[in-house]
Amino acid sequence: MSTFIGLDLAWKETNESGICWLEGGTPADLTCSRLEAEAHSVEDLADEIAEVPGTVVVAIDAPLLYTRDRWAETEVGRQFSRYKASAHSAHAAVRRGWRAGIDLGIALKQRGFTLDPSALEQVGNDCRAAIEVYPHTIHVRLFDLEERLPYKAKKCRPVACRRDAFQSYQRYFRKLLGQEGPGVLENAEVTSALAPETAEGAKGKELKRLEDKLDGLTCAVAAWLWWSNKNAWKTIGDSNGYMVVPMDAATPTPPHHRWIQA
């Protein structure tokens, strides 16, 4: 059994993070055992992840490797600016004392997980690895979008606008999972998170919790897809800090890795 964990990690561990666990080895047997938005300490998360036997890939939306020479966000912004998908600055987060991702990266490395981008391309399918991802880059590539989905509060302030963006997010994801892992759709939490009425009726903290769950699901699916076909992904950055993003849709991929059309 292989496990694919997605973490939409909060900047501070006292805030809720989106957490998703998928298990399986093929699209036919991929399932979801956990989807939630909860607050967890870095050490508790690292311990829980390390207890999972066998192959484990963790995809995390937060800086994992960091030095003052980190430049990954700048390059992601350059490559994805036409999609309006620039990334938050890791330097600004560190200046504010927000180190949850960095601390989790250290904790996972201490527990035997591979994080070094130069080593990730060499790991086999029996790996225990953690990678940094950025959901907006995943969406624009896998959903073939002209620009990122504006579901974030700071990007789309009117609640009606955010709800529309969330319903598009849900619709794209239902289609993606129908191709990549239909069994994931059988999980009750996934069903609820992807139901249009969930976005239609959510506001305030409910809308933020939905955002965390959907981004956690995005990260988990990214872990699965990266493990399934590393050639369809590329690394932006280096040992100072990096993100793993999908290749352009023109890149040839195996039949079960079709890029989703709008």
Per run of 10 residues, the mean pLDDT along the chain (length 262 residues) is 96 92 96 97 96 97 96 95 89 93 97 92 86 96 93 74 93 95 97 95 90 98 95 95 87 37 29
What does the pLDDT read at residue 156? 58
C-alpha 100: how far from chain center? 16
Q: What six digits make up the tokens of 159?
A: 């609640």
What does the pLDDT read at residue 253? 42
Distances (CA, A) of 166 to 7, 16, 152, 206: 19, 19, 9, 12
**Among residues 38, 32, 1, which one has the least CA distance to residue 17?**
38
What does the pLDDT read at residue 157? 65
What does the pLDDT read at residue 120? 85
CA distance 216 to 18: 5
Strand residue runs (E) in 51-204 = 55-60, 128-132
Distances (CA, A) of 69 to 74, 91, 238: 11, 9, 10
Strand residue runs (E) in the chain = 2-8, 17-23, 31-38, 55-60, 128-132, 233-238, 241-246
For residue 123, the tally of other CB atoms under 10 A from its CB is: 16
